[in-house]
């Protein structure tokens, strides 16, 4: 099975040959891959080097925590890759962005109004949680839409707060 | 000796205090909110009583209920830990009235040092240098403050008079931005302390935050246990502390130490407390405030002095003399503490909640972990995000850094995001290694992307790992489909069986 | 500095050595058996290579494979830990030939001290007192030994010449029982060391087992790091060690320490080693043997001296001079180590295997845990039952005992039985508290039933707990029945659905 | 629900009244009982006293590990108790005792023969495991029967080794 795997801005062609062998851009590696105690903790020995990693699925990339550094890694098989190429790039910049509460908390303020033009990085909602005031910012330029919460309101994790179009 | 101590706190500090009591043969009473029924302090204490719902105001801040539980359970003393009721003079006074020993200073000392404006005035009288700022004032209006600000000069800090932990603190660069910042500082102070009062202080640039641990008994003895270097902060929250400070030599330590003792004596201080100083580039130091309680970072002092500060607090509260004179206090080696917070350093330090599913503590030589969590414990959004303190000791500062590096690498927490990668990046920072940092370092000159070379090295490994996991998942979902197919045929088989027996 | 060290061991000691290497910036190579693929030392090392199947002979004793892996991985040095190949002079010699540094003494010193009979002869020449026994003899037959035994006098001990850890050791009370015991001692020695040779030694009654930690460099410097008290043993296996010994004063410490250094110098010893003594009731001491390796119990010495013995071993192996002179070694406070074994103290210390499903380590001030296991790890019957070492430090012996008591109470291991209750009972024993014990104490004067009062107090609580669990189980199985009933009706529903669509 | 619960030689009449109340020999207790993180670890708060315990089923009693001490606790409901009383006491002393391997290991020796009379405490099998030789002893006097293993043989956990009648 062949995959196109992207880490940061770097692309690797990874082929899973069998249980014990993987090739990366044509370089062959002997691998020994085990999950530890039923958790998303993985032990990988590749050509003798021992690595331990905590791997979780993220929104559009795997979150690989390796020796304390976080690597977002996109894994696509060839079919997916072709589909995406056909659809054209720049996916994230179009469509509506839905701001969801990253954790349960109390809305302290919503310093924007519906219809307001916002810049990338501008604060959309201030959410208090764990005794801290957290500023939730816009990931891009756009127009605020559908504000669903008010200051003083408690929100659950992943609750929709507003969107930016 | 006290027979029974109630711990009016939660988390790692409640566990820390239970440990000290147990080692002294004292029984312990835990109190807990509904969110904390399975918390470690409840599991470890001899007795445990429910306070109320999760929010602090309905549980850990309910002084009335806590006193009632103390009476009911027959506790002789209450240890408040830090935060919550620790710096509330009315609570200390209520304990006194209820004939329950408060393991901390007298209400008068808490009151004098708790109001930052009063504290400044008091120590100025005792000849202690302070940072220029608003003097001898309590309830200043925004107009008052806006008027005084230009005289102090910018940049300056707005600080909550009831403050602590950087809450209600704002940095002001110009008069224009000040009204908005005053509003948000007051709002945060009101929400954190129930008191929206603020005052102003000149911002000392390039400053280090150095604090001295004080112990004072009721017989008039007061000593210091040396300094802690606490300059590594983010949004005025300490992240990492060390002892001794890489900046101090013995002469300056002695000089600052005796000013610290003098500051404590200015309010007839009894028990453990901390004098915070700013140290500027020219090695001038200014009194900032006194924390009239046990500090989060007390373990670094314990590691270099061998003195158990909590046990000494209990001894002092019993009216006994200190176990140590100033000349008995010796400093040995170097200690560093990293605060492990449930925060994502890759996402603007956003707090992270959830269940800790897997956890592996670093152990071995020179490593101490103070924590209130364990695998299976749920991190809720109700309390502060600090889930553990990782403390190491080394013969030298360099050895302590290397040991901290290996301990951070060993520490595994699965289920919530933590700031461990932040501390790892810090340990690799050349400026940190050289001890060249001030209170602005984290926010202004530190980046999580620092270690680019490290990164490159492991990209290929990350690629292999993620691909193997993705591949495994694909295979597994293929199997599910197959199993579902079998299930379907089972149903078919039922149908057939039904038909056969019709 | 070495760039890469191979650790020819497993379990807690492999993890301990990896930690030291990491703190020195040295890369580490782990080796592992098929049973240990998920072991902590494999998880923590930079590199890891499979040795072979689980049995030691096919894995951790495969010197040839280990050397091949060292060569292949480019390791400069091998640390053998304790046990396995640690005291095999042929392995140390093979390392030397392969131009890989052996982190331990020269083969000649291992050989001289490894054969207990030769060791005795060597130190006698150097004027060191020894326990009366068979002298200067290697391969003695049973007939030889039966002939000499009455001259030494009963009771006496049969000991394996290649021995260590009490394996192949038997106590003999009379000539009649001696032949059978010789057989079983030889059998055990053969199976443990591949060498069935034994010798005899007078049994010193009421003796304490006191050992001195030695460090010696290749430049002729040799020092001791004080003693460890190791008298608490069961079947000649140490269970608990402390430093300093409650029996020694400074005068005796200095005297024994200099004899220990002299013993090591008698074989031109280099690196870390331990001289074991018996100390009788009249404070006479006798050389027992030298362990030419790191000891299990080295951490208690580290806790009271602040010296990292493993790091010092690596330094010595690099040819550097010791970091300390004798006068730099200071003893501070008191340390105790409890060996946590997967053994059931309520069932004749029967080893216990299985998966550790839940584990909570004691932490906090003055506590160190050295372990190679974690929740999810499987304890197999292939290796020794020690799963962790719990070490505490206190300002005094009394404080260390109280701290150990609280740490033992905090330690939770679910999935295998452990000897933690044994240590808890020990901490409550008046004789232990008073320091009044000898090597026979555990077997002859100690009982797990000691703490009868403790027991009574908690019987009612145990009754409530068990009843609640039993009740819960009954309720749950009742629910299962109900759910099954629902399932059945589901099937009925399928039938009905089938009929409807017929 | 009423139970007769025996700890050591002491008997308690325990009644589970509802989720929060238990009576023991007529004394009423307020209880708060929780299992911790899905393990056989239980937290019990009874009239304010906090206890943590590890509880496992044993052969004929629950094994309760409480503050480091082990309590074997027999829990019977009234019906079971009556049945057992009717059957008469001394259960353990009659019938055949089957010696099973308490752990996997290597049989080092079987120092008894079939038909041999053995005393309580006499060694039946020596089993090597975890580098230790473990002596498996007879729990009572009797005659050795059905020896199923020989020295040098490897055995699995719970494998039958021999019996004593």
Average pLDDT score over chain C: 91
Chain C interface with A: residues with Cβ < 8 Å: 29-30, 37-38, 42-43, 45-49, 72-73, 374-377
**Residue pair B377/B342 in contact by the 8 Å Cβ criterion:** no
Taking CB atoms and an 8 Å limit, are C23 and B361 in contact across chains? Answer: no
The count of C-alpha atoms lying within 13 angstroms of the C-alpha of D72, restricted to the half-sphere facing its C-beta, is 8
Q: Which residue of C has its CA nearest to A37?
A: C376
pLDDT of residue B492: 42
pLDDT tier for residue C183 given thresholds of 50, 70 and 90: very high
Judged against a pLDDT cut of 70, whether residue D156 lies above it is answered with: yes
Whether C70 contacts C98, CB under 8 Å: yes
Q: Are the C-beta atoms of D124 and D136 separated by less than 8 Å? A: yes
The ranges assigned to domains in chain C are 4-103, 132-202, 207-332, 334-447, 459-502
Q: Residue A23: is its pLDDT beyond 80?
A: yes
Question: What is the tens place of the pLDDT at every residue in B127-180?
Answer: 999 988 886 556 788 999 999 999 988 999 998 887 766 788 899 999 999 999
> In this complex, which of D36, D39, D50 lies closest to B48 when CB atoms are compared?
D50
Contact call for residues D108 and D133 (beta carbons, < 8 A)? yes
The CATH number given to whatever domain includes residue D116 is: 2.40.50.100
Task: Give pLDDT tens digits for C368-419.
Answer: 999 999 988 999 999 999 999 999 999 999 999 999 999 999 999 988 999 9
C-chain residues within 8 Å CB-CB of A39? 376
Subunits next to C (3 or more Cβ pairs <8 Å) are: A, B, D
* Whether C494 and B499 lie within 8 Å, measured CB to CB: no
Q: How high is the pLDDT of residue D83?
A: 64
Peptide bond before residue C104 is cis, with ω within 30 degrees of 0: no
Under CATH, which number does the domain C132-202 receive? 3.30.1490.20
Taking 90 as the threshold, does the pLDDT of residue B266 lie above it? yes
Q: Which residues pair with D72 in a beta bridge?
A: D63
Residues C44, C15: contact at Cβ < 8 Å? yes
d(CA A89, CA D128) in angstroms, rounded, equals: 66
pLDDT band per the 50, 70, 90 thresholds, residue C235: confident
Q: Which residues on chain B are in Cβ contact (under 8 Å) with A130?
A: 342, 351, 353, 381-385
State yes or no: cis peptide before C244, omega within 30 of 0: yes
Kindly state whether residues A81 and A114 are assigned to the same domain: no
Question: What is the mean predicted confidence (pLDDT) over D24-30?
Answer: 94
pLDDT of B167 reads 82
A118-125 long-range Cβ contacts below 8 angstroms, 24+ apart = A118/A142, A118/A143, A118/A144, A118/A164, A124/A99, A124/A161, A124/A162, A124/A164, A125/A99, A125/A149, A125/A161, A125/A162
CATH top-level class of B4-103: alpha beta
Which chains would you list as touching B if contact means 3+ CB atom pairs under 8 Å? A, C, D
Return the pLDDT at D46.
94
Which residues, 6+ apart, have CB-to-CB distance to C88 below 8 Å? C63, C110, C114
Name chain D's partners: 3 or more CB pairs within 8 A.
B, C
> What's the number of CA atoms in the CB half-sphere (13 Å) around residue B251?
1
Q: Name the phi and psi angles at B3, rounded to 5.
A: -95, -30
Give the pLDDT mean for D88-116.
76
Give the pLDDT confidence score for residue B494 in this predicted structure: 42
List, as one string, the DSSP characters of C324-356.
--GGG----SEEEEEEEESEETTTTTEE--EE-
pLDDT at position B496? 43
In a domain, D112, yes or no: yes
Lowest mean pLDDT among B62-66, B134-138, C139-143: B134-138
* CA separation for the pair C326, C342 (Å, rounded): 38
Q: Which of B308, B366, B495 lies nearest to residue C365, judging by beta carbons?
A: B308
Cross-chain CB nearest to B48 (options D36, D38, D45): D45
Question: Could you tell me what percent of chain C has a pLDDT over 90?
Answer: 74
Q: In this structure, are residues C10 and C366 in contact, taking their beta carbons and an 8 Å threshold?
A: no
Give the helix/strand (H/E) hosting C445.
helix C441-445
Q: Specify the pLDDT at position C491.
A: 42
Structure tokens at C93: 């010699």
Q: Would the pLDDT of B388 be above 80?
A: yes
Provide the pLDDT for residue A83.
64
Please check whether the two domains, C4-103 and C207-332, share a CATH topology. no
Q: State the total domains in chain D.
A: 2
Residues of B in contact with C367 (CB under 8 A): 368
Tell me whether residue A142 is in a domain. Answer: yes
What b/e sequence results for B398-430 when a residue is b if at least 16 CB atoms lie within 10 Å of its CB, and e otherwise?
ebbbbbbbbbbbbbbbbbbbbbbbbbbbbbbbe
Q: What is the pLDDT of residue A50?
A: 95
pLDDT confidence of residue B257:
97
| Residue of higher predicted confidence among A60 and D55 | D55
Q: CA-CA distances (angstroms) from residue C234 to C180, C277, C345? A: 21, 18, 11
Task: Determine the pLDDT at residue B450.
Answer: 53
Locate tokens 């009151």: which residue? B111
Cβ–Cβ pairs < 8 A, chains A and B: 143
Region C95-104 average pLDDT: 97
> pLDDT by residue (tens digit) across B288-342?
999 999 999 999 999 999 999 999 999 999 999 999 999 999 999 999 999 999 9
Question: Which ipTM did the prediction report?
Answer: 0.83
The lowest-confidence range among A154-158, B291-295, B440-444, C54-58 is A154-158
Of D67, D22, D30, C406, the residue nearest B49 (C-alpha): D30
B207-332 fold: D-amino Acid Aminotransferase; Chain A, domain 1 (3.30.470)
For residue B480, pLDDT over 60 is answered with no
Mutate to test the interface with B, among C45, C361, C365 (most CBs of B within 10 A): C365
Distance from CA of C466 to the nearest CA of D (A): 6
Chain B interface, best mutation among D37, D39, D41, D67, by max B CB count within 10 A: D37
Judgement on whether residues D79 and D22 belong to the same structural domain of the protein: yes
**A&C contacts, CB < 8 Å:** 35
Set of chain D residues whose Cβ sits within 8 Å of the Cβ of B4: none
Are residues A81 and A110 part of one domain? Answer: no
- C in contact with B (at least 3 C-beta pairs within 8 A): yes
Residues D77 and D21 in one domain: yes
Average pLDDT over residues C56-84: 97
| pLDDT band of D80, cuts 50, 70, 90 | confident
Chain D residues within 8 A of B73 when measuring between CB atoms: 48
Of A150-154, B371-375, B413-417, where does the model show the most confidence? B371-375
* Binding-site residues on chain C for chain D (CB distance < 8 A): 167, 187-188, 191-192, 342, 346, 348, 350-353, 357-358, 381-385, 408-409, 412, 414, 420-421, 424-425, 451, 454-455, 458-471, 474
Winning range, highest mean pLDDT, from B32-46, C134-148, C439-453, D80-94 = B32-46
- The reply to whether residue B462 touches residue A66, judged by beta carbons under 8 angstroms, is yes
Closest alpha carbon to C500 in A157, B495, A69, B244 = B495
Helix (H, G, I), strand (E, B) or coil at C472: helix
List CB contacts (< 8 A) between C23 and chain B.
399, 402-403, 405-406
Residues D64 and D45 in one domain: yes
Distance (Å) from the C-alpha of residue D30 to the closest C-alpha of chain B? 12
Average pLDDT over residues B344-355: 89
Residue with tokens 């499903």: C357
User: How sure is the predictor about C488, in pLDDT bands with cuts at 50, 70 and 90?
Assistant: very low
User: Higher confidence at residue D26 or residue A104?
Assistant: D26
One domain for residues A157 and A109: yes
Mind spelling out the 3-state secondary structure of C66-101? HHHHHHHHCCCEEECCCCCCCCCHHHHHHHHHCCCE
pLDDT for the residue C137: 60
Residue A85 has a pLDDT of: 64
Residue that wins the pLDDT comparison between C13 and C492: C13
d(CA B82, CA B370): 14
The answer, yes or no, to whether B and D have at least 3 beta-carbon pairs within 8 Å is yes
Q: Answer yes or no: do A70 and B409 touch at CB < 8 A.
A: no
pLDDT computed for residue D132 by the predictor: 73
* D92 is a domain residue: no
How far is residue B124's CA from residue B120's CA, in Å, rounded to a whole number? 6
Out of B10, B208, B293, B403, pick the active-site residue: B293
- Nearest by CB to residue C43, choosing from A32, A49, A52, is A52
Confidence of residue A43 (pLDDT cuts 50, 70, 90): very high
Tell me, which fold does domain C334-447 have in CATH? Answer: D-amino Acid Aminotransferase; Chain A, domain 1 (3.30.470)
- Provide mean pLDDT across the span C357-375: 94
Q: Specify whether C502 is catalytic.
A: no
Task: State yes or no: pLDDT of D82 exceeds 70.
Answer: no
Do residues A79 and A102 both lie within one domain? no
Query: What does the alpha-carbon distance between residue B213 and residue B299 come to, in Å, rounded to a whole number?
Result: 11
Percentage of chain D surpassing pLDDT 90? Answer: 41
Q: Which of C391, C359, C392 is nearest to C374 (CA)?
A: C359
> pLDDT band for position B479 (50/70/90)?
low
User: If you average pLDDT over residues A132-155, what whole number do you get?
Assistant: 86
User: Strand C4-7 relative to strand C77-79: parallel, antiparallel, unpaired?
Assistant: parallel
Mean pLDDT to the nearest integer, D29-41: 88
φ, ψ for residue B126, nearest 5 deg: -85, 5
**Where does the pLDDT of residue D103 fall: very low under 50, low under 70, confident under 90, or very high at 90 and above?**
confident
Contacts of D103 in chain C (CB under 8 A): 350-353, 381
Per-residue pLDDT band for A6 (boundaries 50, 70, 90) equals: very high
Q: What percent of chain C has pLDDT over 70?
A: 93
Q: What is the pLDDT of residue B451?
A: 58
CA distance B147 to C358: 61
Helices (H), chain D: 78-87
Minimal-distance CA residue of chain C relative to B367: C368
Are residues A39 and A33 in contact, defined by beta-carbon separation less than 8 angstroms?
Answer: no
SS3 content of chain B, % helix, strand, coil (to 5): 40, 25, 35
Considering the domain architecture, whether residues A52 and A115 belong to the same structural domain is answered as no
Longest dimension (CA), chain B: 102
Contacts of C374 in chain B (CB under 8 A): 360
User: What whole-number distance in Å separates Cα of residue B177 and Cα of residue B184?
Assistant: 11
Structural contact between residues D81 and D89, judged by C-beta atoms closer than 8 angstroms:
no
**Would you say residue A92 lies in a domain?**
no
Mean of the pLDDT values across residues C211-227? 97
- Alpha carbon of B460: minimum distance to chain C alpha carbons (Å): 16
Per-residue pLDDT at C116 exceeds 50:
yes
Chains D and C touch (3+ CB pairs under 8 A): yes
CATH for D53: 3.30.700.30
Nearest residue on chain C to A43, alpha-carbon basis: C43
Question: Are residues A7 and A59 located together in one domain of the fold?
Answer: yes
Q: Which residues of B touch D34 (CB under 8 A)?
A: 37-38
| pLDDT at site B318 | 96
C474-500 burial: b if 16+ Cβ within 10 Å, else e: eeeeeeeeeeeeeeeeeeeeebeebee
Of A87, A120, A138, the last residue of a domain is A87
What lies within 8 Å, CB to CB, of D6 at 6+ separation is D12, D73, D74, D76
Which contiguous run of DSSP H or E holds residue A161? Answer: strand A160-164
Percent of chain B residues topping a pLDDT of 70:
93
Q: Give the whole-angstrom CA distance, residue B279 versus residue B372.
A: 33
- Which whole number is the average pLDDT over B452-458? 73
| Cα–Cα distance, C230 to C234 (Å, whole number) | 11
Residues 6+ apart with CB under 8 A from C68: none
Task: Report how far residue C474's alpha carbon sits from residue D165's, in angstroms, rounded to the nearest whole number.
Answer: 34
Min Cα–Cα distance to chain C from B159, Å:
33
- Say whether both A6 and A66 belong to one domain: yes
Tell me the residue range of the domain where D57 lies: 2-87
Mean pLDDT score of chain D, rounded to an integer? 85
Nearest CA in chain A to B193: A131
Query: pLDDT, tens digit, for every residue of C417-470?
Result: 999 999 999 999 999 999 999 999 999 888 887 556 667 778 999 999 999 999
C492: pLDDT strictly greater than 60: no
User: B137 CA to chain A: closest CA distance, Å?
Assistant: 27
pLDDT band (50, 70, 90) for residue D91: very low
Residue C500 has pLDDT above 50, yes or no: no
Kindly give the pairing relationship between strand A69-77 and strand A62-66: antiparallel
Residue A122, domain member (yes or no): yes
| Residue D160 falls inside a structural domain | yes
Q: How far is it, in rounded angstroms, from Cα B81 to Cα B19?
A: 13
- Both D73 and D118 in one domain: the answer is no
Chain D residues with CB-CB distance to C408 below 8 A: 68
DSSP per-residue string spanning C153-204: -SSEEEEETT--TTTT-EEESSTTTHHHHHHHHHHHHHHHHS---EEEEE--
Give yes or no: residues A105 and A51 share one domain.
Answer: no
Pick from A87, A115, A146: which residue ends a domain? Answer: A87
Find the closest chain B residue to A13 by CA distance. Answer: B463
Q: Supply the pLDDT for residue C485.
A: 44
User: Nearest residue of B to residue A54 by CA position?
Assistant: B414
Cβ contact B375–D37 (<8 Å):
yes
Domain final residue pick, A44, A65, A87: A87
**CA proximity to C120, closest of C331, C288, C336:** C288
């Amino acid at each position: 099975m062949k995959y196109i795997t992207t880490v940061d801005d770097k692309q690797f062609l990874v082929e899973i040959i069998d249980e014990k062998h993987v090739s990366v851009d044509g370089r062959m590696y002997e691998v020994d891959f085990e999950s530890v105690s039923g958790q998303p903790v993985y032990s990988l020995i590749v050509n003798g080097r021992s690595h331990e990693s905590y791997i979780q699925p993220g929104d559009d990339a795997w979150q690989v925590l390796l020796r304390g550094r976080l690597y977002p890694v996109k894994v696509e098989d060839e079919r997916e890759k072709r589909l995406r190429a056909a659809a054209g790039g720049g996916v994230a910049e179009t469509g509506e962005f839905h701001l969801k509460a990253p954790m349960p908390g109390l809305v302290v303020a919503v310093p924007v109004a519906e219809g307001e033009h916002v810049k990338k990085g501008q604060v959309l909602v201030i959410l208090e949680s764990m005794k801290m005031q957290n500023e939730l910012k816009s990931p891009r330029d756009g127009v605020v839409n559908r504000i669903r919460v008010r200051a003083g309101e408690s929100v659950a994790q992943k609750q929709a707060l507003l969107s930016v179009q | 000796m006290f027979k029974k101590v109630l711990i009016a706190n939660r988390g790692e500090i409640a566990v820390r205090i239970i440990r000290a009591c147990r080692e002294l043969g004292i029984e312990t009473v835990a109190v807990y909110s509904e969110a904390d029924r399975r918390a470690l302090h409840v599991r470890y204490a001899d007795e445990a009583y429910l306070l109320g719902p999760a929010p602090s105001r309905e549980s850990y801040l309910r002084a009335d209920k806590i006193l009632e539980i103390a009476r009911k359970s027959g506790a002789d003393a209450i240890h408040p830990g830090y935060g919550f009721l620790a710096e509330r003079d009315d609570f200390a006074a209520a304990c006194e009235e209820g004939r329950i020993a408060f393991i901390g200073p007298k209400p008068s000392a808490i009151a004098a040092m708790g109001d930052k404006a009063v504290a400044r005035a008091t120590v100025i009288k005792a000849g202690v240098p302070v940072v220029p700022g608003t003097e001898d004032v309590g309830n200043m209006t925004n107009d008052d403050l806006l008027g005084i600000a230009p005289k102090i000069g910018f940049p300056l800090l707005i600080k909550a008079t009831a403050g602590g932990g950087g809450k209600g603190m704002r940095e002001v660069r110009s008069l224009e931005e000040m009204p908005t910042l005053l509003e948000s500082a007051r709002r945060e102070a009101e929400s954190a302390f129930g008191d929206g009062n603020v005052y102003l202080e000149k911002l000392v640039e390039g400053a280090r935050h150095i604090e001295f641990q004080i112990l004072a008994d009721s017989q008039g003895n007061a000593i210091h246990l040396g300094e802690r270097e606490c300059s590594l902060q983010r949004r005025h929250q300490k992240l990492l502390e060390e002892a001794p400070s890489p900046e101090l030599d013995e002469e300056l330590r002695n000089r600052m130490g005796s000013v610290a003792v003098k500051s404590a004596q200015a309010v007839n201080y009894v028990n453990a407390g901390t004098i915070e100083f700013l140290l500027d580039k020219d090695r001038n130091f200014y009194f900032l405030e006194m924390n009239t309680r046990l500090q989060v970072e007390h373990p670094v002092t314990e590691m270099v002095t061998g003195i158990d500060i909590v046990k000494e607090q209990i001894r002092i509260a019993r009216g006994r003399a200190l176990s140590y004179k100033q000349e008995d206090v010796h400093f040995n080696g170097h200690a560093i503490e990293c605060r492990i917070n449930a925060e994502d350093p890759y996402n603007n330090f956003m707090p992270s909640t959830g269940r800790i599913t897997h956890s592996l503590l670093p152990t071995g030589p020179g490593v101490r972990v103070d924590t209130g969590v364990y695998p299976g414990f749920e991190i809720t959004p109700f309390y502060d995000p600090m889930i553990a303190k990782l403390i190491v000791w080394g013969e030298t500062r360099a050895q302590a850094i290397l040991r901290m590096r290996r301990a951070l690498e060993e520490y595994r927490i699965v289920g919530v995001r933590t700031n461990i990668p932040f501390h790892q990046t810090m340990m690799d920072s050349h400026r940190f290694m050289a001890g060249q940092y001030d209170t602005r370092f984290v926010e202004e000159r530190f980046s999580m992307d620092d270690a680019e070379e490290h990164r490159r090295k492991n990209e290929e490994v990350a690629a292999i790992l993620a691909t193997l996991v993705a591949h495994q998942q694909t295979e597994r979902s293929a199997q599910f489909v197959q199993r579902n197919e079998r299930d379907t045929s089972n149903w078919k088989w039922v149908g057939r069986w039904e038909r056969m027996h019709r």
